[in-house]
Chains A and B, each alone.
Chain A
Amino acid sequence: MTAPPRKLPVLDDLSGFFWTSGADGVLRVQRCTACGHWQHPPLPSCAQCHADDLAPQPVSGRGRVKTFTINRQAWTPGMAPFTFAAIELDEQAELYLFSNVTGDPEAVRTGMAVEVTFEQQDDVWLPLFRPVEAAHG
């Protein structure tokens, strides 16, 4: 059982920063310069105030598992189970990223605290999330 190869995203004008942000170990999310609203996926204008002035801003990389699924279907031969989740970042209510939670799928729970970790493939730094250790969580 092995992890499936990842299909990588196209990096375009709006999304490129997000996929390369992990190069320096920091997760960045689009934020409105006018009203401070965070949003993901990135859009050409602010969904809150409609201003066009948006920029990538660093976030803590911490959040919680809003909901998750353990995929058990081997879509390709030998594919191992993985956890796919909606992560609600600490910065703002309902600021969601879809990602994988690393580690034992059976340990994942709704509401669990997680933090970002990057997996580099080619020119993409995929933001994945790992459980925050109880010791510093």
Chain B
Amino acid sequence: MKTFEYITPETIDEALELLGEGAQILAGGTDLLGEMKRGLATPKRLINLKGIQGLADIRSIPDGFLTIGSLATLSHLAEHPLVAQHYPLLIEALQRTASPQIRNIATVGGNLCQRPRCWYYRHSAFPCIRKHGEGCFAMGGQDRYHAIFGGHRCFIVHPSDLAPALMALDAEVRIAHADDSRIVPLTDFFVGPRDSLTQENILTRQEILTAIRIPVPPDNAYGTYLKVSERKATDFALASVAVSIAWLDTQVTHARVVLGGVAPVPWRVKQVEEMLIGDELSGKRIERACERAVDDATPLRHNRYKVALVKGLLRKALHAAHRSREKGEK
């Protein structure tokens, strides 16, 4: 039996003070408790954030940002009127996340900080590199759910549906530290295996993710989130795509394309964004964009299908964007 200390601080400062070696943050617990039960996380101290006033608030602020407290639940976010108004893409992503029961408990911060779902990582009998063990069991093993981009000695995929969607909306995160707090673009938040084999984001043991900020999207923006999983609910993405596009007349002026479930981090495909901007969204261009998106894919033995899947999803998303613009014109 692993015993641990359980503390519920009332302010961020108090929480920050409690942090340190062996301490871990508890938000909704939907991920952390699973990790603890399997012996993957063995905290000596759990710092429960749910006692901190205002950390679950969702507010629009005068400078045009929507601020989401890291403790806001996924359900709360999905039901928020401002989200429905400006960021339908987020709602699509949230509706495809886990199950209603989990969304009622899971928090936005926890979702961005959740640990990988790789079946070797989660299985207590495989001492993999992400658990400070020997190597990657997916290499040469059962790798159908693993990364086709950005793998390096470890081939996990980032499991979050929310992260690609937020990234496509140019979200930023606010990180609190005892000395200062900083705001970081979400694109810089996640960390791939080249930078760390045991951590999926930049947070240090002394830091807490306190909020997510999303700017108001550009005029005429269209966004969509498409996800494919083997089972409709309670299943992680085989691949997903978040797209946000804006036009001036027929010309694309803004494009964000982020892939989920295919890389150790939410995988932004800048080369596709760049080729979309400044032109019409024709069928031909969409095809080229799809090819471009998978240019640098390096599939493993059993996950080559993800290349076709990414293309299929991106094609659907871009066609949907195209259709929405045409509808808007009428």
**Is the A/B pair a real complex?**
no
